[in-house]
Amino acid sequence: MLLGMTQAPLEDPQPGTRTALVTGGSSGIGRSIVTALVGAGFHVFVTGRRQPELDSLVEEFGDGVTTVRGDVSHLDDLDGVYTQVAQRGRGLDLVVANAGGGTFATLQDLEPEAFDQTFAVNVRGTVFTVQKSLPQLNAHASIIVLGSTSAARATAAFGVYSASKAAIRQFSRVWAIELAPRGIRVNTVTPGPTETPGLAGLAADPAEAQALLDQEAGRVPLRRLGQPSEIADAVLFLASPRASFITGTELFVDGGESQV
């Protein structure tokens, strides 16, 4: 062990002693991550763009969550989140950069506005979510970035989204090196096709949505879509002391889609 560095404790901390931030946590995979973290004893700061869904989190979890409406691509909104974290006075033990999205467009049909929006949320939003968390991170904190199997393969009409997720994967590798001297771990959780409103929302109508879900499930060796709770379980593991010697890695939760 290097001089001046300490090993993370192997026991799980007591409930209520840890604090997390989850961006894009009001629905889908993000909401399942929030649910898992609250269940594990975290107090969770949650960002999202839709106030009714944030309100429903408060109704479900009470003072186990603090919700902040905002868009991660707007730096002023991120500043507002971290102001509330600072006011609570307990720092952060976990940051989950989950907010993201994209649309289908071939190279021929791609509009500059769609390109800019995807990179603003997926790349700029993630980078500055993590950067602005640095003064708040406690010893042995963990940063988890949500990736995508789209970054590991080619999908027609999904190039911008795929490229944005590939960028985030490389950032997470670099951050793992840069933050290692502080004992902060950085990892990527990469879901495969997951049954969420966001996936279905890529389609134009319910019939097309079902066809899309069936198509995606058919490409998975396990022949089904993932569930948001399965992604949340992976996040919970990487955030735990049991993953104390894991950093810079990419954990695929994809039913084997990208690996076999």
Q: Which residues are catalytic?
A: 161
146-32-17-96 Cα dihedral, nearest 10 degrees: 10
CA distance 137 to 181: 13
Exposed/middle/buried for 182, CB within 10 Å: 0-12, 13-18, 19+? middle
Q: Provide the sign of the torsion angle of the four alpha carbons 222, 228, 233, 239, taken in this order.
A: positive
> Strands of 65-69's sheet, edge to edge?
65-69, 42-48, 18-22, 92-97, 137-146, 185-191, 250-253
Most distant pair of Cα atoms in the chain: their distance: 61
Q: How far is CA 258 from the centre of its chain?
A: 19
Q: Shortest CA distance to 73 belongs to which of 32, 12, 138, 23?
A: 23
Closest residue by Cα to residue 20 from 80, 96, 117: 96
